[in-house]
Amino acid sequence: MSIQFDEKSRIFLLMTQNSTYQIKVDEYGFLLHLYYGKKTKQNAEYALQFVDRGFSGNPYDVGDNRTYSMDILPQEFPYRGSGDYRNTSLVLENANGSTGCSLRYVSHEIRSGKYSLPGLPAVYANADEADTLEIVLNDNVSGAEVILLYGVLPKYDVITRSTLIKNNSNDSFFVTKAASACLDFLTGDFDVISFYGRHTMERNFERTHVGHNAFTIGSRRGTSSHQYNPMMILADTTATEDIGNCYAMSLLYSGGFEGSVEKDQINQIRMIMGMQPEQLRYPVKHGDTFVIPEVILSYSHEGFNHLSYNLHQCIRHHVCRGEYKTSVRPVLINSWETSYFDIDANNLCRLAKEAAQLGIDMLVMDDGWFGKRDDDNSGLGDWYVNKEKLGMPLCELIDTVNELGMKFGIWFEPEMVSEDSELYSRHPEWAMTIPGRQPVRGRNQLVLDFSRREVVDAVYKQMCEVLDHNNIEYIKWDMNRSICDVYSHTTENQGRVLYDYVLGLYDFLERLHINYPHILVEGCSGGGGRFDAGMLYYTPQIWCSDNTDAIDRLFIQYGTSFGYPISSAASHVSAIPNHQTGRSTSLETRGIVSMSGAFGYELDLTKLSDEEKEEIRKQISDYKELAPLIMDGRYYRLTNPFTDEVAAWQYVSKDKKEILFNAVRLANHGNMTPIFVKLKGLEKGAVYKEEKTGDLYPADILMEIGMPLKIELIQYQSYQMKFIKE
């Protein structure tokens, strides 16, 4: 059992292969956080310091003891109302208008297996893979019962956290702030690593020293957003890819979020991850339970590479689900950058014929096939095939594609509605609009109120009509605007709408997962605007970015790799000059970059030269051979493209017999200096043969000196080498 409780000291030990997490129930029933770090069974209680700090309040229970204050003690689940003036995990608004509570330990339960959450995604595991700790806290005045849930997956050095808030009183109260994960550190000099961005340039790596301030990231957009990713890392200032303590928090939630790191008055540091508190005022009535989304915690004392490995393994094997979660995905061609809204069956058939000859597995028909949809101003909400525009019945088009030996996929944007649609004309109240105000449009569209069951049901029914009568094997689920006018026409409390919206989204996706298990669903929100672990529970891959430029993708995919498995990031080769940047890169470079993910193409194959087609044929053949190593191998970041002149990364098979090395040179200069890239994770003392040349390389020297890159007068020169252990 990975969870232990000592009755005498009242200390919980949560242990993974390489880490220990300690919690103490103290004499007053408060839950204190003692330790999270390198594995040990020794007691960290001695580190608690009781000192009279001016203007730090004391619980009434402690009498005249001014040295006991929640304002300075490390806590497991800090809340407003305890005398702690730091950032907190929970704020309750009581029936009398006051805020705060006083939560004390009541009981606990330790059991085999991993808890699940009603209506929300959560890490899952068998009884022999995980254990659960459930700690019950109670506030006697409000009747709030708080259940802290911990899931321990020892193999991956992962601890999950979620919280249930129950109302056992006759009065209602409101949750106005909710975060499941909090880590308090008594000592340490840390940096915080976050991943900021914008549409077409998501998840940029940024490292900031933690000073005496509150560092906060988050999203007020109703989704996890392009602007910040709901994953962050706290690390020693000296930590690198290979050494140093580092802690990750990754939120399994696709709505608004907030993550913060704060250094307090006595140099202690608190890290919190949870829901966005703005516009949250969730009513919890008698007998109701509010579920706070789960956070994945992981710790590594071996730097960022090992931390990423923990997250990759956990998400790939215990978050992603379905037939495709660990399998190699089909190589696809998407119609978007080929024809945009100009969907025509004959052109699609020609594209499919070219694709089949090159070895591509699937044709995806993107936006423009439904309703009155000729641009991004119309048609959303009317999910029926526009046969006149398409030129033939959809089933006939799919049959033609299938006869070529290819699968067929299709694009939907189920959460949106256009004002000229039939759906909107029948049900304008189904859109999120505020009475008496003109709505704020995004991409000339409105958001459907997925907090309402009847709206989800109606759109789902439309979608099923398409899926049930056609051999569709892939769905691209898109969402192309942020939520602004937060209002539901059927609820008295608008503070619950954004949370209920996410529950409605998850309900829709869960129905697809259950009723269409053979369909691969790819998530998308203007590319990477909703790239989070919560969506990966329903869609095992997500369109990494609408930016298909190979060089920009090096930066985007670098940041993504810190928290998410390679198999989850969809990446395509597109035309040059690139449609987002105007940049031209070689087909070889575009292929190597795109192979680091769910591989595909997004260009007009009919306009390529014979030489280009032959090169694509070779790329696809190579990818299908390399894909098991790319998907299952351990991923290593070898350089940082934000600071280095080369972007380099690597995959190592579990037995260390196969190595795939990739690199792209980012800068050209006169009289270039030599570039060496050190490899990682090789078997010490072994000799590796490079497949193309047959050259032999000693593993130890490759890891100490590195692989020299042959420099030619080529812009964005790329390299791909496969090594086999002799």
Share of the chain above pLDDT 90, in %: 100
| Rounded Cα distance, 375 and 49, in Å | 64
Contacts of 661 (CB under 8 A, 6+ apart): 648, 650, 677, 679, 707, 719, 720, 721, 722, 723
Residue 59 confidence (pLDDT): 96
Q: Tell me, rounded to whole angstroms, the distance of Cα 15 from its chain centroid.
A: 25
Residue 641 confidence (pLDDT): 98
Are both 3-318 and 646-725 of the same fold? no
| Beta bridge mates, 573 | 601
Asked if the peptide bond before residue 577 counts as cis, ω within 30 degrees of 0, the response is: yes
Beta pairing, strands 520-523 & 541-543: parallel
Architecture of domain 332-632: Alpha-Beta Barrel (3.20)
Question: Rounded to whole angstroms, what are the CA distances from 492 to 282, 489, 496?
Answer: 11, 8, 9
How many other β-carbons are positioned within 10 Å of the β-carbon of residue 137?
26
pLDDT at residue 684 is higher than 90: yes
Say if CB 440 and CB 433 are below 8 A apart.
Answer: no
**CA end-to-end distance (rounded Å), the chain:** 41
**Tokens at 559, concatenated:** 């940041």
Which residue from 691, 619, 677, 689 is spatially nearest to 648, judged by alpha carbons? 677
Quickly tell me which residue has 């590195």 as its tokens. 706
Listed by start position, the domains of the chain span 3-318, 332-632, 646-725
Say if CB 590 and CB 620 are below 8 A apart.
Answer: no
* Phi, psi dihedral angles at 667 (to 5 degrees): -135, 145
Which residue from 18, 22, 17 is spatially nearest to 4, judged by alpha carbons? 22
* Residue 439, burial from CB neighbour count under 10 angstroms (0-12, 13-18, 19+): middle
pTM of the model: 0.97
Share of the chain above pLDDT 70, in %: 100
Q: Give the confidence band of 100 by pLDDT, cuts at 50, 70, 90.
A: very high
Residue 706, classed as helix, strand or coil, is coil
Angle between helices 497-515 and 453-468 (to 10 degrees): 30
pLDDT at residue 492 is higher than 90: no
Residue 82, classed as helix, strand or coil, is coil
- What residues are labeled active site? 532, 612
Cβ-defined contacts of 428-432 (< 8 Å, 24+): 429/489, 430/455, 430/458, 432/483, 432/485, 432/486, 432/487, 432/488, 432/497
| Rounded Cα distance, 179 and 607, in Å | 52
Q: What would you measure as the largest C-alpha separation in the chain, in angstroms?
A: 86
Alpha helix stretches (DSSP H) within 516-609: 533-536, 550-561, 587-594
pLDDT at residue 685 is higher than 90: yes
For residues 18-44, one letter each, b for 16 or more C-beta atoms within 10 angstroms of the residue's C-beta and e for the rest, the string is bbbbbbbbeeeebbbbbbbbeeeeeeb
Question: Rounded to whole angstroms, what are the CA distances from 374 to 197, 368, 428, 478?
Answer: 30, 6, 22, 17
Q: What is the DSSP string of 595-650?
A: TSSEEEEES-GGGS-HHHHHHHHHHHHHHHHHHHHHHHSEEEE-S-TTTSSEEEEE
Using one digit for the tens of pLDDT, what is the confidence trace for 564-593?
999 999 999 999 999 999 999 999 999 999
Using one digit for the tens of pLDDT, what is the confidence trace for 146-187?
999 999 999 999 999 999 999 999 999 999 999 999 999 999
Mean pLDDT of 380-398: 97
| Beta bridge mates, 430 | none
Beta pairing, strands 646-652 & 634-637: antiparallel
Mean pLDDT of 374-384: 95
Torsion of CA 639, 643, 647, 653, to 10 degrees: 20
Residue 392, classed as helix, strand or coil, is coil
How many other β-carbons are positioned within 10 Å of the β-carbon of residue 136?
17
The CATH number of 646-725 is: 2.60.40.1180
| Beta bridge mates, 334 | 364
Which residue from 679, 633, 675, 627 is spatially nearest to 656, judged by alpha carbons? 633
Alpha helix stretches (DSSP H) within 469-529: 497-515
Mean pLDDT of 383-403: 97
pLDDT at residue 349 is higher than 90: yes
**Average of per-residue pLDDT values in the chain:** 97
Mean pLDDT of 302-331: 97
Mean pLDDT of 31-48: 97
Residue 478, classed as helix, strand or coil, is coil
| Rounded Cα distance, 295 and 163, in Å | 10
Residue 196, classed as helix, strand or coil, is strand
Pick the CATH number of 3-318 from 3.30.420.10, 1.10.101.10, 2.70.98.60, 2.60.40.10: 2.70.98.60
